[in-house]
Amino acid sequence: MLPYLLYIDPGSGSYLVQAIIAAVLGVAFYFKTIWLRIKLFFGGRKKDNQPGNHKEDEQV
Amino acid sequence: MAGKKTISRVTIKKMSRYKKHPASYRDPSGFVFEQDDIYYRQVNKPYAANYERLIKSGLYDLLVKEKKMLSHTEVEENLTGEEDWYKTLLPEQLRFISYPYEWCFSQWKDAALLTLELLQTALDHDMILKDATPFNIQFADGGPLLIDSLSFEKYDETKPWVAYHQFIGCFVAPLLLARYQSADLLRMFQLYPDGIPLRLVAGLLPLKSFLNIQVWLHIRLPNMLSAGTGAVPKKTPAFSRKKMKHLISNLFSFVQSLSLPTIKTQWNNYYDETILSDAYLNAKKKIVEAWLRELPASTVLDLGTNTGLFAEVAALTGKYTIAVDADTACVDKLYNECRKKKITALMPLCADITNPSPSIGWDNTERSSFSDRMQTSLTMALALIHHLVIGKNLSFDQLAETFSEFSPLLIIEFVPKNDPRVDLLLANRDDIFDDYNEDAFLKAFQEKMIVLERTMLQGTGRILFLMKRKD
């Protein structure tokens, strides 16, 4: 490990990490929404409450 | 500190009376201090705007109402005499302080989920949680509670969560190690109270854990990035409320999904498959309960509580009970049962009394030792001494000394040598315990205590004693 790393607040590195994670989650969320629409279109009405379920909607 | 010119006689008198809490030095927003055995929190001037926001936005009221945060009252007096003083808070006083390295898996998980809920609720009020350390969480009334009222600050939508790294190292890392390796690794937090390094976590987690995309995102990826050149981008990438929402809900479902594989430990089925009969347990329960009801004790320490059968008896007689066991699976079972049954006067805790938590931190004063915090009015050591004397080679004298230091009252069970449990302990070792008998036991304990009651437990040869410390 480079010695100067000791002087970098671990929090600042986490900004980049969070940006990447948020991007990944954003993409996943996008595809999940599309997938749910497809499911809904092909008679996925059995689980009526699922698409509207706040938590389910956003979990990736 | 107040400058010399501004110190009046009154403040000099006051300053000599308060004592800053040794662990309360990290955050310039304020600090905790003790005066006349009461704990206060001072809010410093630089934090004034954030404190007012916490109160005026309704965030404080909501969190207190939902029992997610410790309540306080404002004291309109500068008790410390410091120039930086903005407000003095008198928090609801806690009966007992536990440290995260003494928690079981479910306690960690509940504390982690509470931290995320606090973050979510704060965002709804345009504030954000700036600290995510389990040291800010205590268990009171059966559930986790935020005790640091200065943990929130104004939310800036363009910035990610400032405490993300801390949350991963302090909550997610220990939970993952427990989930994939062993719940005993939760105690590792004692070595890394600022968070377990991700490099270490990544090394300790088995390969199969990396099939979990969340582990990859929150452990492996940051670890890979930090192992790179170390170059930190000059411009931090812009964040947004929506991104924050995704991050929180992802962390929430991640933590929620973690659970311990069901394992059978040495102790967690002790009562189910024990050779001890129901008649014996019921008789013991009756005697212990009767004694507890009569005794003028407000707090009880139950050592080697197992799944807390007798700690529950104590708690149900209205005494605040700290139930200690070295087996994390037992403590987990007890904690979950207490939450289910809403037994709030019971505090389950993981600790090995033959190697209890030491005092740690700067100057060994930040977090006090197990023995320093276990001052109770009554100690129970039921079906325990044979494990300590025959299992661990401790002497009766050592036990008498330590138990009498915990509390002025003691309920202790003597398990004789012809007991089937003692036979099991001696099965694979030489019997070097010629002095293991009631007379030697009493001789040692009577050095420190006076025997008030002695009751034989029918059909077992075991004897219950009620003792009082010599003063």
Residue A39 within any structural domain of the chain: yes
**Buried b / exposed e across B454-471, counting CB within 10 Å, b at 16+?**
ebebeebbbbbbbbbbee
Q: Is B243 close to A14, i.e. CB distance below 8 A? A: no
Nearest to B225 among A4, A13, A24 (CB): A13
Q: What's residue B232's pLDDT?
A: 55
Residue A4 within any structural domain of the chain: no
Q: What's residue B424's pLDDT?
A: 84
Q: What's residue B432's pLDDT?
A: 79
Report the alpha-carbon distance of residue B464 to residue B395 in Å, rounded: 19
Give me the domain span that covers residue A39: 11-58
CB of B221 within 8 Å of a chain A CB? The answer is yes
Give the dihedral of Cα atoms B370, B372, B373, B379; nearest 10 deg.
Answer: 90
- Average confidence (pLDDT) over A44-60: 47
Residue A1 within any structural domain of the chain: no
- In CATH, what class is B278-469? alpha beta
DSSP H or E stretch at residue B443: helix B438-446
Q: Is B253 close to A21, i.e. CB distance below 8 A? A: no
User: Where do the domains of chain B lie?
Assistant: 7-91, 100-257, 278-469
| A43 vs B217: which has the higher pLDDT | B217
pLDDT along chain B (471 residues), means of 10: 42 65 91 94 96 97 96 93 94 95 97 98 96 96 92 94 94 97 95 95 91 92 73 68 94 95 69 69 94 94 93 95 94 95 95 95 94 94 93 94 95 91 83 88 96 91 94 80
HSE on the CB side for B410, CA within 13 Å?
Answer: 28
Residue A19 within any structural domain of the chain: yes
**Chain A residues with beta carbon closer than 8 angstroms to that of B245:** 58
Q: Is A12 close to B230, i.e. CB distance below 8 A? A: no
Nearest to B165 among A11, A55, A58 (CB): A11
Q: What is the pTM of this model?
A: 0.88
CB of A27 within 8 Å of a chain B CB? The answer is no
Report the alpha-carbon distance of residue B331 to residue B101 in Å, rounded: 13
Residue A2 within any structural domain of the chain: no
Residue A5 within any structural domain of the chain: no
Q: Is B230 close to A8, i.e. CB distance below 8 A? A: yes
Domains in chain A: how many in total? 1
Q: What's residue A14's pLDDT?
A: 79
| B274 vs A43: which has the higher pLDDT | A43
The residue among B281, B312, B291 whose CA lies nearest residue B460 is B281
Residue A46 within any structural domain of the chain: yes
Residue A16 within any structural domain of the chain: yes
CB of A11 within 8 Å of a chain B CB? The answer is yes
Q: What's residue B228's pLDDT?
A: 57
Q: What's residue B226's pLDDT?
A: 76
ipTM attached to this prediction: 0.72
Q: Is A24 close to B162, i.e. CB distance below 8 A? A: no
